[in-house]
Chains A and B, each alone.
Chain A
Amino acid sequence: MYNARMRTHLGLVILCVLSAARVCSSTSAPESPRKFDCRSREKETFSCWWEPGSDGGLPTEYRLFYTQERLREVRECPDYVSAGANSCFFDKKHTSIWAEYTMTVVATNALGNASEEFRITDVMEYVKPDPPVNVTVVVNSSAPSPFLEIRWKSPPDVDVRTGWVTLKYELRVKQNDSKEWKTVDIGSETFFNFYNVYPGLLYMAQVRCKLDHGKWSEWSNTIFAEIPKNCKPTVVTEISFFYLDHQVEKIPLLMGIYILLLKRNVVKQCLLPPVPGPKIKGLNAHLLKSGRSEDVVNALMGNQNFPPVAAWTEQVEDFLLVSDSDEWLLTDSFASEKNKDIFIIPAGLHLGLEIQCRDLSVDLNTWEKTDDSKEEAKSNFLNMEPINLPVEKHEFLNGEEMSIQPLANTSYVDIQQHPTLTDYSRVKEVNDNTILILNEEEIPHGLDAEEVKSEVSVPDDYSRVKEVNSDVVFLEKGDSADKPIMPLESELSKGFCLKMIASGYVDSGPAFSVK
């Protein structure tokens, strides 16, 4: 009897113990919260969330305490509600950017508590704005090609007016059936014109934004836009509705092709106009090919009245001389010389020339005699600036007298046949290294060579020296106040002789040196 009762008691005790144990294992102190994260939408407030651990089967309360970098006191979370469950919201008063927060979340229930510490070094690291709002897109169909006008607004809470935040945007667009987005960095603008679109396609676009160096927001709502197809094809399709059947459509098409074939040259001209080659005014490409240099030169240099080359070559061998005496008539041998030697005598100096300028003598009397001819010559003067080409009479080797006639608007001198003019004083200017032309306004008469020699200031005559061409001579106009550029040296008594070869090289006679 005792055995049965004891077994029952033992059973009950075991049962009790077991049941007690079951009740004990279902409740415990809570686990510490895990996973802490925060977010600031506009750099003025922020919220933090934690993930609770196991609550131990009992109602568990969570509290958050924090300290700030410089604050010694411990504060509790000001708002557990606004940001949802298991969260803490810090409003403007409690938010310090660039400051370090140390958060402690404590989980408490009837059986105990558990806490975890989290550190936020800088709220700036958690800045992530809301996406932009009011994203709109308009298809702009203006010429030359359609484009999308995309606009948006900054997220509502972000303050862009005080300079506290700098918002940057990013836009992405893609075709509806394409997989790849085209992304564009926008900067701080709130609109963008997207040109890379084609008619007839459907496009979708999204925008997102970023505050300072924070994280990008989520993409905004997607907006769609379809680019309409071109108008021209629609007109054709409309016309086609007038045809009863599609066969009839082909007739105008065939006719059109036939006409095009007939007029293919015209069409080719229209569609593919020949690209004009470079054109130089007055120059003919064929001219270049033909290779006649004179023509080319003419074409290039315009309609300048250069003397006919032939005429010039005729006179190549002619020489300009100032001479009063027969001995200055040069022999024919000179005429046969091919070089274009031209002798120039400055006005006022009576110089005799020999081809090598060896013997120069001035015959003053000769000059005087030629007064009349001077008048003549004077009348032939051209008072042109800068070209003053006197009409000169020159004696030439073969007795021909050449005169230098200025050409209009050129610096080229045309030598023509002319009645003899022994007075070279009118030689005003040399052009093209061939002719020296001296502008003589006052022809000193009776000027002695000796005078020339002694008076360096005889440059009165050389005051005519106005200009040197090719280092030959300085020619100066009229004004005696002008100093000659070249000094006259005593050798001038012999006058000078300038022999100019067409190439421009000048030999100066012993008479003077050019400085």
Chain B
Amino acid sequence: IRAASSCTNGQTGCHFLSLANLFDRVIQHSARMHGISNDLHSEFELYFLPSKNQIGRVSRNCHTSTILTPNGKENAQRIAREELTEVILKLLVAWREPLWHFHQNMAQHREFNNFSSNKSLEMSEMVHELRRGVQKVVEKMQMLGVINSSLGNLGSPEALLASDRAEWRLMNDYDLLYCFRRDSNKIQNYLKILKCRIVPEHGC
């Protein structure tokens, strides 16, 4: 993360500028992650579901369905910053293992070309990187007093999802991709909303 080297408006201003930079970075990261998940999902559809029928598809159960997420703009703007941040982290943590196993499966199947296999690896790594990035943002926010430090449990979000460990194994690959595409879109949106709530003056 590039330090705000051109700050002249005092320490506080500098801190907020660097927080905005941090946000921009994680948002870019999440946008890229969502793009890859979108590509992979489309490729899957090409190979496995030639007859696309948007309406009338079988319902899917995503393993992250248990995580309560704001499903609209107003909701996302109304809930507390801490809560929104927690949701983001929960989602990121929930996908770490499933994506890793997905990539392992992909690497073994011969019908996928290298391109898709690389994407799945990139995707699983990005989830991990993004989570670290968001944790940095959280630390920065806590340091600046933007959010309460009561989110101590975010240091180990795995604890939050200990019970959901096995559920993702029930999903098949296609459902997994669909669910992740949706969740990566959520993460991207929440991060943008969070940024515009906390540091709106730096481009929204």
Task: Decide: B204 and A120 in contact? CB cutoff 8 A.
Answer: no
- The contact sample of 20 A-B pairs, CB cut-off 8 A, is A43-B73, A44-B72, A92-B72, A96-B72, A97-B71, A98-B182, A102-B59, A119-B55, A119-B56, A119-B59, A121-B57, A125-B54, A161-B204, A163-B192, A163-B195, A163-B204, A164-B73, A164-B189, A164-B192, A166-B31
Q: Which of B11-69 contact A (CB under 8 A)?
A: 31, 34-35, 38, 54-57, 59-60, 65, 69
Please list the residues of chain A having a beta carbon within 8 angstroms of any beta carbon in chain B.
36-37, 43-44, 69-70, 92, 95-100, 102, 117-122, 124-125, 159-164, 166, 212-213
Task: Decide: A98 and B59 in contact? CB cutoff 8 A.
Answer: no
Docked CA distance A96–B38 (Å): 20
Contacts of A159 in B (CB 8 A): 73
Docked CA distance A186–B186 (Å): 24
Task: Decide: B69 and A98 in contact? CB cutoff 8 A.
Answer: yes
Q: Which of chain B's residues has its CB closest to A97's CB?
A: B71
- For residue B141, CB closer than 8 A to chain A, the reply is no
Task: Please tell me which one of the listed residues A36, A98, A117, A161 contacts residue B71 in the complex, with CB atoms under 8 A apart.
Answer: A98
Contacts of A44 in B (CB 8 A): 72-73
Knowing A118-B56, A213-B38 are in contact, say whether A162-B185 is a contact too (CB < 8 A).
no
Q: Which of chain B's residues has its CB closest to A118's CB?
A: B55
B31 to chain A, nearest CB (A): 8
Task: Decide: A161 and B196 in contact? CB cutoff 8 A.
Answer: yes
Contacts of B193 in A (CB 8 A): 162-164
- For residue B77, CB closer than 8 A to chain A, the reply is yes
Knowing A36-B55, A161-B196, A163-B195 are in contact, say whether A122-B73 is a contact too (CB < 8 A).
no
Knowing A98-B185, A98-B186 are in contact, say whether A164-B71 is a contact too (CB < 8 A).
no
> Which of B35, B55, B59 counts the most chain A CB atoms within 10 A?
B55
Contacts of A120 in B (CB 8 A): 55
- For residue B111, CB closer than 8 A to chain A, the reply is no
Q: Interface size on B (CB < 8 Å)?
A: 29
Contacts of A121 in B (CB 8 A): 54, 57, 59-60, 178
Contacts of A98 in B (CB 8 A): 69, 71, 182, 185-186
Docked CA distance A159–B77 (Å): 13
Q: Which of chain A's residues has its CB closest to B190's CB?
A: A163
For the complex with contacts A96-B71, A98-B182, 18 further pairs of A-B residues with Cβ separation under 8 Å are A36-B55, A37-B55, A69-B65, A92-B73, A97-B72, A100-B60, A118-B55, A121-B59, A121-B178, A122-B182, A124-B185, A125-B54, A162-B73, A163-B189, A163-B196, A164-B192, A166-B192, A213-B38
Docked CA distance A169–B160 (Å): 40
Contacts of A117 in B (CB 8 A): 56
B59 to chain A, nearest CB (A): 6
B156 to chain A, nearest CB (A): 27
Task: Please tell me which one of the listed residues A119, A124, A162 contacts residue B204 in the complex, with CB atoms under 8 A apart.
Answer: A162
Docked CA distance A318–B59 (Å): 107
B30 to chain A, nearest CB (A): 11
Q: Which of chain B's residues has its CB closest to A162's CB?
A: B196
Please list the residues of chain B having a beta carbon within 8 angstroms of any beta carbon in chain A.
31, 34-35, 38, 54-57, 59-60, 65, 69, 71-74, 76-77, 178, 182, 185-186, 188-189, 192-193, 195-196, 204
A419 to chain B, nearest CB (A): 71
Task: Decide: B71 and A99 in contact? CB cutoff 8 A.
Answer: yes
Knowing A118-B56, A163-B192 are in contact, say whether A92-B74 is a contact too (CB < 8 A).
yes
Task: Please tell me which one of the listed residues B54, B60, B185 contacts residue A212 in the complex, with CB atoms under 8 A apart.
Answer: B185
Docked CA distance A120–B60 (Å): 11
- The prevalent SS among residues of A at the interface is loop
Contacts of A119 in B (CB 8 A): 55-57, 59
Knowing A98-B71, A121-B60, A213-B38 are in contact, say whether A164-B76 is a contact too (CB < 8 A).
yes
> Which of A97, A102, A161, A212 counts the most chain B CB atoms within 10 A?
A97
Docked CA distance A96–B182 (Å): 13
Contacts of B71 in A (CB 8 A): 96-99
Docked CA distance A37–B56 (Å): 11
Q: Which of chain A's residues has its CB closest to B193's CB?
A: A163
Q: Which of chain B's residues has its CB closest to A161's CB?
A: B204
Q: Which of chain A's residues has its CB closest to B178's CB?
A: A121
Task: Please tell me which one of the listed residues A37, A99, A118, A213 contacts residue B185 in the complex, with CB atoms under 8 A apart.
Answer: A213
Contacts of A124 in B (CB 8 A): 182, 185
Task: Please tell me which one of the listed residues A95, A96, A100 contacts residue B59 in the complex, with CB atoms under 8 A apart.
Answer: A100
B182 to chain A, nearest CB (A): 5
Q: Which 10 pairs show the lowest CB-CB distances between chains A and B?
A: A163-B192, A163-B196, A96-B71, A164-B73, A118-B55, A36-B55, A163-B204, A99-B71, A163-B193, A162-B196
A95 to chain B, nearest CB (A): 6
Contacts of B204 in A (CB 8 A): 160-163
Docked CA distance A119–B72 (Å): 19
Docked CA distance A95–B70 (Å): 11
Contacts of B57 in A (CB 8 A): 119, 121
Docked CA distance A124–B185 (Å): 9
Contacts of A99 in B (CB 8 A): 71
Contacts of B196 in A (CB 8 A): 161-163
Docked CA distance A473–B30 (Å): 70
Docked CA distance A337–B108 (Å): 84
> Which of B57, B76, B182, B188 counts the most chain A CB atoms within 10 A?
B182
Docked CA distance A118–B58 (Å): 10
> Which of B54, B186, B204 counts the most chain A CB atoms within 10 A?
B54
Contacts of A37 in B (CB 8 A): 55
